[in-house]
Structure 1
Amino acid sequence: MADPVRRLERARADARRFAREARRLARRHARALGDDRTTVDAAADEVDAAADADDADRLSAALRHLDALWEAHLARRVKSPWREYAESTLAAVVFALLVRAFVLDAFRIPSGSMAPTLIAGDFIFVSKTAYAVRIPFTSVRVVDTGTPRRGDVIVFQSPREPSSNYVKRVIGIPGDVVELRDEVLYVNGVQQPRTPRGDFAYSERNEDTGTVVPESCRRYREALAKGALPAMASADAGWTWQVAAAAGVASYDVLQCRHVRLSAREGPFEVVKPGHVFVMGDNRDLSSDSRRSGGWQVPFGHIRGRAAVVFWSWGDGGLSFRRGAGVRLERLFKRIE
């Protein structure tokens, strides 16, 4: 048999919860209730006072009175659990759509052109407000919030294939001249230093045939200065890079998958026009980017946003209960350099 004292305490706690719920519902529907809200509040106050007093008869009478008011004015305003669930789900969906329209978007990496930074099967979040706030589902910029900098990884609508979205790294900004000498990056004639980091092996699945193609490349850590890089004589290039690096350095890994021919050179390409950027993939030998067809550039208006984080990754080598593709745990929530 339960302790009578404990039963009384539970009854008082239940009475106080009933009073709180009556006040909350009356407050939510204050306009519809009018003067009846005051009556409900007074009855709830009496329940609290009776619960505090050591008078079971008073508490019973107060509860009966509040229950009668509840049935008369509040019961029909209580939402069913299914309606509460439906409204919560609708609110969550609307919130997600607003976030996608204004703040974040998701993008799937289809190939290895940005390896090792991004590999096929990665899913990334893209910050849509990194450079501008746009009217949803259009390219109309309402407010400019920044400009792309060297080293940013961006998602953009291809100026050559408007129906396609690409993800590449910004290498040149307005006024820059980009070139590669023996696969080493130069911006405005200034060499961007890189250091070897050994070999990098990865596999890429052909989406048409399903065949997994292994790749083995040399890996380098590249340091791209973000500050102003005026063209200088080669003797001053190191000093020029250090001055530009004072404004920040983008450090990331790039791949070299083919044997470099002696004195091989790409560019120099055309000067990057105002309101445009020059982009390249980190997997330099397997990327279709601004170097192709004589050098093309991406207008600011085509940029959808800056790649921020890998939130999901699925592919060969991932965790799986059977052979084949699985979740790549080591890549989840990886910040994009």
Structure 2
Amino acid sequence: MNAVSPSATPPVKLAAAMAARRTPEQLRARRLLVWRELLTSLWAPLCIIGLAFVPYTVLIEFAPAAAAWAQPAMKGLGLLMVAYFVALLVWRNASPKEKALRALRHEANELLSENERILQKPQVRAKLGDPVPERIAEQALRVESASVEGNAERLREELKGLEALTAQHLGPFRKQSAADFIGGFGKALLIALVIRTFIVEPYRIPSGSMLPTLEIGDQVFVNKFIYGVRVPWANVVPFVIVRPPARGDVIVFNNPVDESKDYIKRVVGVPGDKVEIFEGVVHINGKPQKRDLVAADFTVHNITDDGRWYDQQEARFDEDLDGVKHAALQTLSRMPQHEGPYEVPADHVFVMGDNRDNSADSRHGLGYGYGKAEYVPYGHIKGKAMVVWLSLGYQGLLHGLFGGTGLRVDRFFEPVR
């Protein structure tokens, strides 16, 4: 009789073998256990917030008025999830039985995953034949039954039985190859890179150039696909996905003058625009943009390079930039009478900070030449700032322990306008 060719031998799927042996009652009990494990995982509150955050960001992007009710709802959900997380943490550590069962169930899952990985290799089936995988599947079901039952002692004994079978029959195959490790690590790294490069990226507000819209310490999520897929390092956008940058958008970009730095500013001019500022009022193609003085003495909180907070007194305006309403600051005593004109070239944008007299923007060479105009090429734009997801700023929770910096719960889920 000819030897069985490994390539002709189908792999054994442990999960399928176990599923074929389960009774309907066992299947229902297992499903209940799976849901219980998911909902009592410390990841559960974070996943719930993450799942709610996706539709929330879409909603406030395309229906800005909805933020009036959606933001309080998200804050309420966030506080509820914090309470959920704390309750889980206390319960998981206060109950000895739960701690023991969780550790044993984790060990069981790791061992079952290892068996599944080994038995999927055709050469293992060719060497072992059918009886061994069947015995392992039967013992794995006994482990699962003890886990569902919640009997720690029985689960420990059944695990010892599965470990003994694994060591006896699969011992030579247990060592994970370098290819297996690199493959698993590579997949995880690729997923993380795809998300960060093409979908969403966090960005921390390091300075006061966008006050009062964005405060120092705000952490924002940046929508990286709205303008198109940007090819990193090459600084090109082959095609637009949703739309090109528009006036009023708050964008994160790689500074074309110093590519080691990323900036966040507001788009004021798009390709073909002629931008001029007369006594602080922005004019686009000769048309003044509506601007109203709200307070002549408005206080914001800025920070020095060595981390010391200080009050900054400015005049606050409400500005309507081509339909995008937002706040802006300016020093009345040294407001320039005229700036510009700035003519925006093709495939570039003209940007300014909302803190107009404290911003290294397009009017000032993006920080590298006062009075010298610099524009941001499309290929340097990383994406559009969407929402504040975390804020570690002035006078937040526990600020007394960290030099005035604390957790700003009031800034959570703030839409970037």
With normalisation by structure 2, the TM-score equals: 0.55
Does the C-alpha gap of structure 1 residues 70 and 318 become closer, same or farther in structure 2, counting only changes over 3 Å? closer
Does the C-alpha gap of structure 1 residues 161 and 68 become closer, same or farther in structure 2, counting only changes over 3 Å? closer
Cα deviation code 1:230-263 (max 9, x no counterpart): xxxxxxxxxxxxxxxxxxx3221111232376x9
Quote the residue 1:336 is aligned against.
416
AA matched with 2:298: F
Quote the residue 1:327 is aligned against.
407
Match of 2:257 among 160, 177, 180: 160
| Aligned-pair CA distance for 1:300 | 1.2
AA matched with 1:183: G
Quote the residue 2:301 is aligned against.
203
Quote the residue 1:277 is aligned against.
349
Are the counterparts in 1 of residues 118 and 174 from structure 2 also a CA contact under 8 Å?
Answer: no
| Alignment pair present for 1:266 and 2:266 | no
Equivalence map 1:118-157=2 (5 Å): 118-145=214-241, 146-157=243-254
How many angstroms apart in 1 are the aligned matches of 2:348 and 2:117? 58
Quote the residue 2:390 is aligned against.
312
Quote the residue 1:288 is aligned against.
360
Does the C-alpha gap of structure 1 residues 44 and 185 become closer, same or farther in structure 2, counting only changes over 3 Å? same
| Aligned-pair CA distance for 1:286 | 1.6
Match of 2:318 among 217, 221, 226: 221
Does the C-alpha gap of structure 1 residues 194 and 103 become closer, same or farther in structure 2, counting only changes over 3 Å? same
| Aligned-pair CA distance for 1:175 | 1.2
Are the counterparts in 2 of residues 168 and 281 from structure 1 also a CA contact under 8 Å?
Answer: yes
Are the counterparts in 2 of residues 27 and 37 from structure 1 also a CA contact under 8 Å?
Answer: no
Quote the residue 1:231 is aligned against.
none
| Alignment pair present for 1:32 and 2:129 | no
How many angstroms apart in 1 are the aligned matches of 2:405 and 2:162? 61
How many angstroms apart in 2 are the aligned matches of 1:120 and 1:66? 55
Are the counterparts in 1 of residues 309 and 404 from structure 2 also a CA contact under 8 Å?
Answer: no
Match of 1:190 among 279, 287, 292: 287
Instruction: With a CA cutoff of 8 Å and minimum separation of 6, indicate the structure with the bigger relative contact order.
Output: 1
| Aligned-pair CA distance for 1:285 | 1.9
Cα deviation code 1:9-50 (max 9, x no counterpart): 9xx99xxx99xx69x8389516234365754676689898xx
Percent of pairs identical after alignment?
A: 37
Q: SS of the residue aligned with 1:101? A: helix
Match of 1:298 among 368, 373, 376: 376
Q: SS of the residue aligned with 1:259? A: helix
Cα deviation code 1:176-221 (max 9, x no counterpart): 111222212221111222344435312212104x443311222222
Indicate the RMSD between aligned Cα atoms, in angstroms: 4.3
Quote the residue 1:232 is aligned against.
none
Are the counterparts in 1 of residues 218 and 388 from structure 2 also a CA contact under 8 Å?
Answer: yes
AA matched with 2:375: Q
Moved more, 184-193 or 318-327: 318-327
How many angstroms apart in 2 are the aligned matches of 1:152 and 1:294? 23
How many angstroms apart in 1 are the aligned matches of 2:163 and 2:284? 78
How many angstroms apart in 2 are the aligned matches of 1:333 and 1:216? 26
How many angstroms apart in 2 are the aligned matches of 1:25 and 1:206? 56
Quote the residue 2:331 is aligned against.
257
Q: SS of the residue aligned with 2:350? A: strand
Q: How many residues align?
A: 283
How many angstroms apart in 2 are the aligned matches of 1:295 and 1:141? 23
How many angstroms apart in 2 are the aligned matches of 1:107 and 1:31? 47
AA matched with 2:329: L
| Aligned-pair CA distance for 1:87 | 9.8
How many angstroms apart in 1 are the aligned matches of 2:381 and 2:254? 6
How many angstroms apart in 2 are the aligned matches of 1:335 and 1:256? 23
For structure 1, list consecutive stretches of 5 or more residues without a partner in the other structure.
1-8, 49-64, 226-248
| Alignment pair present for 1:105 and 2:105 | no
Kindly name which structure, 1 or 2, has the bigger radius of gyration based on alpha carbons. 1
Are the counterparts in 2 of residues 152 and 306 from structure 1 also a CA contact under 8 Å?
Answer: yes
AA matched with 1:266: E
How many angstroms apart in 2 are the aligned matches of 1:79 and 1:273? 60
Q: SS of the residue aligned with 2:196? A: helix
**Higher-strand-fraction structure:** 1
Are the counterparts in 1 of residues 228 and 238 from structure 2 also a CA contact under 8 Å?
Answer: yes
| Aligned-pair CA distance for 1:133 | 1.8
AA matched with 1:25: E
With normalisation by structure 1, the TM-score equals: 0.67
